[in-house]
Amino acid sequence: MSSITNGQPVLAAARAPRVRGRLLDAPVAGGKRVLLAAPRGYCAGVDRAVIAVEKALENFGAPIYVRKQIVHNIHVVSTLEQRGAIFVDDVTEVPEGAHVVFSAHGVSPAVVQGAADRNLQAIDATCPLVTKVHREATRFAKQDLDILLIGHTGHEEVEGTMGHAPERTTLVTSPADVDTLEVRDPDNLVWISQTTLSVDETMETVRRLRERFPNLQDPPSDDICYATQNRQVAIKKVAPQADLVIVVGSANSSNTVRLVDVALENGAKAAHRVDYASEIRQEWLDGVETVGVTSGASVPEVLVQEVLADLADAGYLDVETVVTAEEDLMFSLPKELRRDAEGNPDERGLGGRVKRLDWQN
């Protein structure tokens, strides 16, 4: 049940009903079990961004416009849509003077300016760990360094980061890209990265960059965020023991898709991504004894629990949690939301700190 004031179960209506026993015909193997990776699911940046939209709806009323998907999860987006959020691709689609929330993936200064030009009331839900990368890009550009940004073409986070130093930034999408890179000055380069990449592939890209550009400078710290790294470490522990890994999350979620890759690279015999339990195919379970389960950083835990329920129906009743880290990071709400509409301290913000939503669990 949501802790939002209207007390509605905000997730319930957005998903198809689960059909119990749907997977019961899966051939029974001895010792069926589930290895449940931990950490998994919501990270602090996603939690904050989703609460930001909820708080905006609560404080200012519907509709609240959101530029791009607030987080890359279709269930979260459709749930918020039902509550009055309107997702748009561009601030030009938002009526003059309306409230608009910038997504967790961040925006370029041009987008901020575009919102200001339309007198929009902007609420910036950019994850602070993405903001950190933006600041690095700005600082390196001021230092006259050329920036090699490791990331995925067209990803919103990459577009936002490149927008902070457009003249200085070159995108590197994979280790294979390195050989064909053209740079202005090979001795004046620094690398940074998208926050949600595969750690191993990124380190391989950096290794190849350094081979080609020995004077390449490092950022002060890793840009791949704690949540992405922790979820990859956990699935690495599960994968070698798993006949099948199920990753819950959406197709446009970078960190989710990386979890599938990491599972396969680390010994899982098969790995599939699903948005919902109903997408699990019976044939995936043929002859499978051990199923690994994890979820991306934008996935509410309720969706994982539905996967576990379907697996239980299919005989996977023994669930062992494989814990590789504990997470307790929380971020302050965006400054525009730290007080309620009357200016009183916000009980859900707890003095500016984000409290985890109970509807995730």
Catalytic site residues? 157
297 binds ligand SF4 (CB under 6 A): yes
129 binds ligand SF4 (CB under 6 A): yes
103 binds ligand SF4 (CB under 6 A): no
Contact 107, 81 (CB under 8 A): no
What is the helix (H) or strand (E) element at residue 155, kind and residue range? none
User: Which residue, 48 or 168, has its beta carbon nearer to ligand SF4?
Assistant: 48
Beta strands 85-88 and 99-102, pairing class: unpaired
User: Which residue, 115 or 127, has its beta carbon nearer to ligand SF4?
Assistant: 127
300 binds ligand SF4 (CB under 6 A): no
Among 57, 64, 149, 227, binds ligand SF4 (CB under 6 A): 227
Contact 22, 277 (CB under 8 A): no
Q: How many residues does the chain have?
A: 361
- Residue 33 burial (C-beta neighbours within 10 Å; 0-12, 13-18, 19+): middle
Among 51, 52, 57, 104, binds ligand SF4 (CB under 6 A): 104
111 binds ligand SF4 (CB under 6 A): no
User: Which residue, 161 or 195, has its beta carbon nearer to ligand SF4?
Assistant: 195
Concatenate the DSSP letters of all residues of 5-56 into one string. TT---TTGGGSPPP-TTTTTTSPP-TT-EEEEEES-S--HHHHHHHHHHHHH
User: Which residue, 46 or 234, has its beta carbon nearer to ligand SF4?
Assistant: 46
> Which range touches ligand SF4 (CB under 6 A), out of 39-47, 137-145, 209-217, 343-351?
39-47
Rg (alpha carbons) of the chain, rounded to whole number: 21
73 binds ligand SF4 (CB under 6 A): no
Among 103, 108, 202, 228, binds ligand SF4 (CB under 6 A): 228
Q: 90: helix, coil or strand?
A: coil
User: Which residue, 45 or 151, has its beta carbon nearer to ligand SF4?
Assistant: 45
70 binds ligand SF4 (CB under 6 A): no
160 binds ligand SF4 (CB under 6 A): no
Closest of 216, 139, 206, 217 to residue 177, by C-alpha: 206
197 binds ligand SF4 (CB under 6 A): no
> Which range touches ligand SF4 (CB under 6 A), out of 50-58, 168-176, 220-228, 312-320?
220-228
CB of 73 to ligand SF4, least distance (A): 11
Q: Kindly state the number of chain residues that form the binding site for ligand SF4, as judged by CB under 6 A.
A: 15
Tell me the C-alpha distance between 39 and 158, whole Å: 25
What is the helix (H) or strand (E) element at residue 79, kind and residue range? helix 74-82
CB of 5 to ligand SF4, least distance (A): 25
Q: Please compute, for residue 152, the number of CA atoms within 13 A of its CA located in the half-sphere on the CB side.
A: 16
Tell me the C-alpha distance between 237 and 313, whole Å: 25
> Which range touches ligand SF4 (CB under 6 A), out of 41-49, 77-85, 161-169, 202-210?
41-49
53 binds ligand SF4 (CB under 6 A): no
Which residues touch 181 (CB under 8 Å, ≥6 apart)?
Answer: 148, 170, 172, 212
Q: Please compute, for residue 168, the number of CA atoms within 13 A of its CA located in the half-sphere on the CB side.
A: 22
CB of 127 to ligand SF4, least distance (A): 3
Which residues touch 305 (CB under 8 Å, ≥6 apart)?
Answer: none
Return the residue nearest ligand SF4 (CB atom). 45
| Residues lying near ligand SF4 in the complex (CB under 6 A) | 43-46, 104, 127, 129-130, 195-196, 225, 227-228, 255, 297
